[in-house]
Chains A and B, each alone.
Chain A
């Protein structure tokens, strides 16, 4: 094992390769080089929801990156963390831009995992619907309660509480609402055109 640290800046290398799997996602008609803020935020939240659904979720992200041969773009844990820190709400938010290719890779990975979780997603959303209709507190459903609790914990430990965007989620209820809405979005990622749909939606309201 080679312990030396590569000094090549991560950004420079990431742009070089463009695997075929990303080609079927079109380039959005935006002029900036990097992704808009909302795109970065949304991608990170989708990944956060996946981590809350799947034990070892962040490790799974790297596994899938290798499986889909995207390891040139998503190289390692640190690299992944840096890409996700483009989310403006994060504690470690950097001004680094998320390139279109990097965003595509994250979206393809998220949708790939979502597809594996199809059954779970449907079950959780169905449970949510039933609890809501009968006006039973969501905590009564063990699986749903687990997901919500993990999501809240992830969100609180990673987002910067001083950001106004984070302040909007200062209660359990508001975070639950966010977690449930992400659950629905993840379900839509599992479909035939799920990846394209999620990808395009990330630029809604951002183009001329």
Chain B
């Protein structure tokens, strides 16, 4: 293990990622070792008094929010990842056509953070915002730094586009003949969104081999989001789309979309696991008492004979 630092530098933003490398691989003595465990991240922004710093939680939140907001900036459709959800420490919002407010909340789990708990806000111009997005994209593109994190893009679903209360505000500047969007917004406004909540039956936890049972994610919205995320992740890396049979797996994902387990549903699927990208996408959770309790969602993932990927919530 040795400490490595990576730097992504743009005129208005410099991103430092510091972490540990894996034990050096004898077979391929690569010049640039893989930084696989993040220790600390720093984001220096022009115009900010001090750099934003934090650990993995902060960094993941930062790159997710920045990436999501970049999409929102391009499409003017509110992006759920740009705005703070329960776990997000970072959020971005537009305050002016050319000003974007970055807000960083201090981590609750980090006792070192200031006791006052006041969020840090930094206002960025569009050019400064772009430099931040570009630093993040260069990090994503760097396969030697935290290779498990890469750029995941997916269009925002109609449901989200209609949900956010900001929509009316957003629709005005976007109105660009985005009259169609505006119409959709009006339609969504009047039509009550049907609650598609499945009966909350006990999840098939009993089949899980693990002794400490993980809680199930039951929020339908979160499941839909995860479903989309999972689909995009697998679809992106599934290159050899020739399989002789439909391969069906039950895949467990954590709330942030990491695949922590999969199980084949029959012998054919079991034998053909190497033809799917699942083994490569598997993330081994660090075995600490907190992570053992992480809530999971189960999905049915089908690698179709016709080369089409299907992801749907697992129903026992």
Binds A, one of B17-25, B37-45, B66-74, B283-291: B66-74
Is A185 in the interface zone, CB < 8 Å from B? yes
Most chain A beta carbons < 10 A, residue from B72, B137, B162, B177: B177
Q: Which residue of B lies closest to A178 (CB)?
A: B176
Beyond A38-B180, A125-B127, whether A204 also contacts B75 by CB under 8 A is yes
Contact A200 B154 (CB under 8 A): yes
From A41, A132, A163, A208, B98 is in contact (CB under 8 Å) with: A132
Q: Which residue of B lies closest to A203 (CB)?
A: B155
Is A126 in the interface zone, CB < 8 Å from B? yes
Is B113 in the interface zone, CB < 8 Å from A? no
Contact B134 A184 (CB under 8 A): no
CB of B67 to closest CB in A, whole Å: 8
A118 to B173, CA, bound (A): 24
Beyond A177-B173, A178-B176, A192-B134, whether A205 also contacts B71 by CB under 8 A is no
Beyond A129-B125, A129-B127, whether A208 also contacts B158 by CB under 8 A is yes
Residues of A within 8 A of B75 (CB): 42, 201-202, 204-205
A85 to B225, CA, bound (A): 35
From B155, B159, B178, A41 is in contact (CB under 8 Å) with: B178
Residues of B within 8 A of A193 (CB): 137, 140-141, 151, 153
Interface size, A (range): 35 or more
Q: Which residue of B lies closest to A28 (CB)?
A: B155
Q: Which residue of B lies closest to A44 (CB)?
A: B177
Residues of A within 8 A of B133 (CB): 188, 191
Is B243 in the interface zone, CB < 8 Å from A? no
Beyond A45-B176, A197-B74, A200-B71, whether A205 also contacts B181 by CB under 8 A is yes
A109 to B235, CA, bound (A): 25
Contact A187 B161 (CB under 8 A): no
A29 to B178, CA, bound (A): 20
Is A99 in the interface zone, CB < 8 Å from B? no
Residues of B within 8 A of A88 (CB): 177, 180
A77 to B141, CA, bound (A): 36
A126 to B98, CA, bound (A): 10
Most chain B beta carbons < 10 A, residue from A89, A128, A129, A184: A184
A166 to B73, CA, bound (A): 22
Is B263 in the interface zone, CB < 8 Å from A? no
- Against B, the Cβ 8 Å flags (1 = close, 0 = not) of A163-181 are 1111011000000011011
Contact B155 A205 (CB under 8 A): yes
Q: Which residue of A lies closest to B128 (CB)?
A: A129
From A26, A29, A41, A187, B130 is in contact (CB under 8 Å) with: A187
Contact A29 B231 (CB under 8 A): yes
From A122, A126, A180, A205, B97 is in contact (CB under 8 Å) with: A180
Is B245 in the interface zone, CB < 8 Å from A? no
Contact B74 A165 (CB under 8 A): no
Most chain B beta carbons < 10 A, residue from A125, A178, A188, A198: A188
Most chain B beta carbons < 10 A, residue from A36, A38, A181, A198: A38
Residues of B within 8 A of A58 (CB): none
Residues of A within 8 A of B184 (CB): 205
A87 to B179, CA, bound (A): 12
Is A71 in the interface zone, CB < 8 Å from B? no
Contact A177 B97 (CB under 8 A): yes
Beyond A29-B231, A204-B79, whether A185 also contacts B74 by CB under 8 A is yes
Beyond A29-B231, A41-B176, whether A192 also contacts B141 by CB under 8 A is yes
A200 to B176, CA, bound (A): 18
From B72, B140, B155, B173, A206 is in contact (CB under 8 Å) with: B155
Residues of B within 8 A of A38 (CB): 178, 180-181
A-B contact pairs, 22 of them (CB 8 A): A29-B154, A37-B180, A125-B126, A128-B98, A129-B98, A165-B177, A165-B178, A181-B173, A184-B98, A185-B73, A187-B126, A187-B127, A193-B151, A193-B153, A196-B153, A198-B74, A200-B71, A201-B155, A204-B74, A204-B161, A207-B156, A208-B157
Residues of B within 8 A of A207 (CB): 155-158
Beyond A184-B126, A188-B74, A191-B133, whether A200 also contacts B175 by CB under 8 A is no
Contact A191 B155 (CB under 8 A): no
A208 to B75, CA, bound (A): 16
